[in-house]
Copies of this chain bind each other. A is one copy, B any other.
Amino acid sequence: MKQVNGSGDDLATAPVAPRPPPSPVRAIPTLLRGLAQVDFMQSAWCGLFFAAALFASGWKYGLFALIGTAVSTLTALVWQVDGDRVLAGLEGFNGALVGTAAGVFLGPEYLSSWLMAAAGSVAATIVTAALVRLLGTWDIPTLTFPFCITAAVLTIAAPEFQRLWHGRTGLAGLVEPAQGPTGLGWADLWRAFFANVAQIFFMPQWYVGLLFLAGIFVASRRAGVVASLGSVVGIVTAWALGSPADEIRAGLLGYNAVLVALALCGVFLAVSVWSVAYAVIGAASSTGVTGALSDFFTPVGGHTLTWPFCLTTLVFLLAAPALPRLRRTG
């Protein structure tokens, strides 16, 4: 499987021969593709919209994302990771998320957060190389597992280190059953629809999500439609199960559904009636998995990140070859 579009990894498990590294002129589009690959898009124009969305949510967050993308891409170059992967942005997107996560979860006002964004992005590239090999055994792409692993270590470890945590109180607690009104009004619905796309980068604002979604449409109208479908499935499932309305409105129960829908319908599995159905089941499942993982991380003060997307998509992609109604892309 050699994916041109999407973060389908080059799955060679043997040592990879070094390719000529990209020239400096290609640096900007490579970085932008790194941002876009978070949502499986391999388009610099899409990445430009993503950068705009991040800067719209706060210039520091935009900078955190760019630093993460640049550091992880540079790490891949220094250690001579396969050049095709670098150019496609596949060595940048986990760093983009690690960098942003360092800003959001450790606080953009501390120098230490900027240093950890860089250090974490170095680590993300090594974790990526490890997972390309591990998951390649079953022809499965890394998804955002490298980000999830790196950012989980970073955010769970942070309170143990006083120069990272700066005396704040801890986040760990015991799980309490969810409470609060569950009814959704029109304003909740449309805000949730866009926030689901923004929360992939940890942002709750609807207009940030609008910019992200516009970027996806610029890269591929079909992907834009599928992402929208995923967002709707996430909202409907969360409402049906009885999530608090304010969590739905903030996009916390739907961002994984957006990513799962994209992965299962068009990116890794060819579009068909069956893959649409599969994507809907997957997106709905990921909403349940979001609840479980949110509880799982509560006693250790961890964040849910995109673990629900990664784990759900891993299961659904592993299962696909045994289900003859589904076909791989590429």
C-alpha spacing A41/B180, complex, angstroms: 47
With a CB–CB cut-off of 8 A, which chain B residues contact A298?
Answer: 172, 300
**When the two chains form the complex, which single residue of B14, B137, B178, B323 contacts A79, counting CB atoms closer than 8 Å?**
B323
Asked if A5 is at the interface of the complex by the 8 Å CB criterion, the answer is no
Q: Is the CB of B174 within 8 A of A299?
A: yes
Whether B324 lies near A80 (C-beta < 8 A) is: yes
User: Contacts A160-B178, A324-B15 known; A138 to B138 CB distance under 8 Å?
Assistant: no
Query: Contacting chain B: which of A58-66, A205-213, A240-248?
Result: A240-248
Question: Count the A residues whose beta carbon is within 8 Å of the partner chain — how many?
Answer: 80
14 A–B contacts from the bound complex (CB under 8 Å) = A14-B321, A123-B281, A127-B315, A129-B323, A130-B316, A130-B318, A137-B138, A154-B288, A157-B290, A157-B291, A159-B177, A162-B241, A170-B177, A299-B299
| Interface residues as binary, A44-57 with B (CB distance below 8 Å gives 1, 0 otherwise) | 00000000000000
CA distance A178 to B174 in the complex (A): 19
Contact of A319 among B133, B159, B168, B174 (CB under 8 A): B133
Determine the residue in chain B with the shortest Cβ distance to A79: B323
Residues of B within 8 A of A156 (CB): 291-292, 295-296
Task: Known A79-B325, A172-B299, A281-B122; judge A178-B163 contact (CB<8 A).
Answer: no
**Which residue of B15, B292, B301 is within 8 Å of A295 (Cβ)?**
B301
Best-buried of A16, A154, A158, A241 by chain B (most CB within 10 Å) = A241
A241 with B15: CB separation less than 8 A: no
The answer to whether A174 and B177 touch (CB under 8 A), given A80-B325, A292-B153, is no
Find out whether the CB atom of A152 lies under 8 angstroms from the CB atom of B292.
yes
